[in-house]
Amino acid sequence: MPAESPVRPALPLRAELAGLHPYGAPQLDVPVLLNVNENPYPPSGAVVDDIAEAVRQAAGGLNRYPDRDFLGLRTDLVRYLLAESGVALAPEQLWAANGSNEVMLHLLQAFGGPGRVAVSFAPTYSMYPEYARDTATGWVVGRREHDFSLDAAHAVATIAEHQPSVVLLASPNNPTGTALPTATTLAVLDAAAQVPGGCVVVVDEAYGEFRRRGTPSALELLADHPHLAVARTMSKAFGLAGARVGYLAAAPQLVDALRVVRLPYHLSAVTQAVARAALAHSAELMAQVGSLRDERDALVEWLRGRGHEVADSDANFVLFGRFADRHAVWQGLLDRGVLIREVGPEGWLRVSVGTPAETAAFRAALDQVVGS
Ligand SMILES: *Cc1c(COP(=O)(O)O)cnc(C)c1O
């Protein structure tokens, strides 16, 4: 008998996934972590106690599947958005999932798909093309201007040319920090309304709470635009990245479409309990966001004072540059215990706003690396 030849069956990996690596910033053990735009402040003792108690109560019912429609959480989110932005919504207009990344994947599952196109404008969030890829949606990327603003005429022309079923706009944009003026969002909404078959405009406000005074939220446009979805998250301003809770607000019919594509019971009872316990403390959180905003503005001023180019920021991070060898600067900071992000157009780096002590460590390290 011939020796059995070892059978090594091939994995039927989709061709477009061949050779790809999972997305994600390096998770390094470094004293000063300013690389993924987290809130630098852990939940307060009072919040931790309430979360622990809520989880204890939820644990007693874990033999049962959770509330599939999480109406309690949606009602709490309505209350939060009213306080945060002054926009009154109904619970049927809210949707949530394990991070706004999952919310946006739901959007692409419902409104993208083979033969359809999603559009965004670069530089922007690097996960957007991944949602398109994973839902077999075509991907078209337009451009932002040199100051990272979005030219309304270019956006309208791109939509007219490619007739997308989904447009993804981050405002404030990651990695640039740039927020969209209402006039630009309205121009995109109008162009999308003219796409035969329809087009959903997603405004990703992951950093919405950090917007500067006078910068509008797209939540204000929901009443008149049934093809608008505004995504938010508890991962950034809310300081709850580890809990994985994101959400969106939209017309009830749009939310109903997402309910079709979600997996059953996608939001665990523990997640719902944690989110609701944290939302009960949102007033405390909003005060903290105010101090992070001040810290951000001071960091922008400091960087400009040092002669760096700095993008205007409505977020909790700052994009600055430009460096002939940005990797060397990134590495120099890392060697001094400060991790930032090498992301965005060539020559630029992104730093998250930390505690005053963390930001001071960043400033000292940067002065050492590039001279002052
Ligand atoms: C961080 C971020 C998100 C939020 O991700 P979660 O899944 O909610 O943690 C969404 N959009 C942008 C642009 C982001 O930077």
pLDDT, one tens digit per residue, over 320-343 is 999 999 999 999 999 999 999 999
The answer as to CATH 3.40.640.10 being correct for domain 46-280 is yes
Q: What pLDDT is attached to residue 2?
A: 60
Q: Give residue 3's pLDDT band: very low, low, confident or very high (50, 70, 90).
A: low
Q: pLDDT-derived band of residue 372, with 50, 70 and 90 as boundaries? A: low
Looking from the CA of residue 174, the nearest atom of ligand 1 is 13
- Closest CA relative to residue 62, chosen from 279, 271, 276: 271
For residues 50 and 281, the answer to whether their CB atoms sit within 8 Å is yes
Q: What is the pTM of this model?
A: 0.96
Beta-strand ranges (E) seen in the chain are 32-33, 94-97, 117-122, 138-143, 166-170, 200-204, 228-233, 246-250, 309-310, 317-321, 338-339, 349-352
Say which residues have a Cβ less than 8 Å from residue 301's Cβ, sequence separation at least 6.
none
Please tell me the distance between residue 235's alpha carbon and the centre of ligand 1 in angstroms: 7
- Which amino acid is it at 221? L
- What residues line ligand 1, using a CB cutoff of 6 Å? 37, 99-101, 125, 170, 174, 204, 206, 233, 235-236, 241, 246
The closest alpha carbon to 230, from 210, 201, 189, belongs to 201
Task: Calculate how far, in angstroms, residue 3's C-alpha sits from the geometric centre of ligand 1.
Answer: 53
Distances from the Cα of 73 to the Cα of 58, 97, 267, 304, angstroms: 14, 11, 10, 42
Distance (Å) from CA 172 to ligand 1 centroid: 11
Bridge partners of 232, per DSSP, are 247
pLDDT digits (tens, 9 = 90+) for 143-177: 999 999 999 999 999 999 999 999 999 999 999 99
The two beta strands, 309-310 and 317-321, are antiparallel
Q: Which fold has domain 24-43+283-370?
A: Aspartate Aminotransferase, domain 1 (3.90.1150)
What is the rounded average pLDDT of the residues 190-195?
A: 98
Q: Is 231 helix (H, G, I), strand (E, B) or coil?
A: strand
Looking from the CA of residue 236, the nearest atom of ligand 1 is 1
Bridge partners, 350 (sequence order): 319, 341
CA distance from start to end of the chain: 76
Using CA positions, which residue lies closest to atom 12 of ligand 1? 206
Residue keyed to tokens 């300081």? 239
Q: Whose CA is nearest to atom 15 of ligand 1?
A: 174
The phi, psi pair for 228, rounded to 5°, reads -105, 135
Q: Probe ligand 1: pick from 77, 127, 211, max atoms within 8 Å of CB? A: 127
d(CA 327, CA 53): 45
* Bridge partners (DSSP) listed for residue 170: 204
Q: 113 C-alpha vs ligand 1 centroid, how far in Å?
A: 22
Do β-strands 117-122 and 138-143 pair in parallel, antiparallel, or remain unpaired? Answer: parallel
- pLDDT at residue 53 greater than cutoff 80: yes
DSSP helix/strand/coil, 246: strand
Comma-separated ranges of CATH 3.40.640.10 domains in the chain? 46-280
Mean pLDDT of 269-287: 95
Start-end of CATH 3.90.1150.10 domains in the chain: 24-43+283-370
| 1 pLDDT tier (thresholds 50, 70, 90) | low
- Helix (H) / strand (E) element for 140: namely strand 138-143
Give the nearest ligand 1 atom to 98 CA. 7
297 Cα to the center of ligand 1, angstroms: 22
Of 90, 64, 63, nearest to 75 (Cα)? 90
The number of C-alpha atoms within 13 Å of 170 and in the hemisphere containing its C-beta is 27
User: What residues form DSSP beta bridges with 338?
Assistant: 32
DSSP-assigned beta bridge partners for residue 119: 140, 167
At 276, phi and psi to the nearest 5? -70, -40
> Half-sphere exposure (CA, 13 Å, Cβ side) for 93?
21
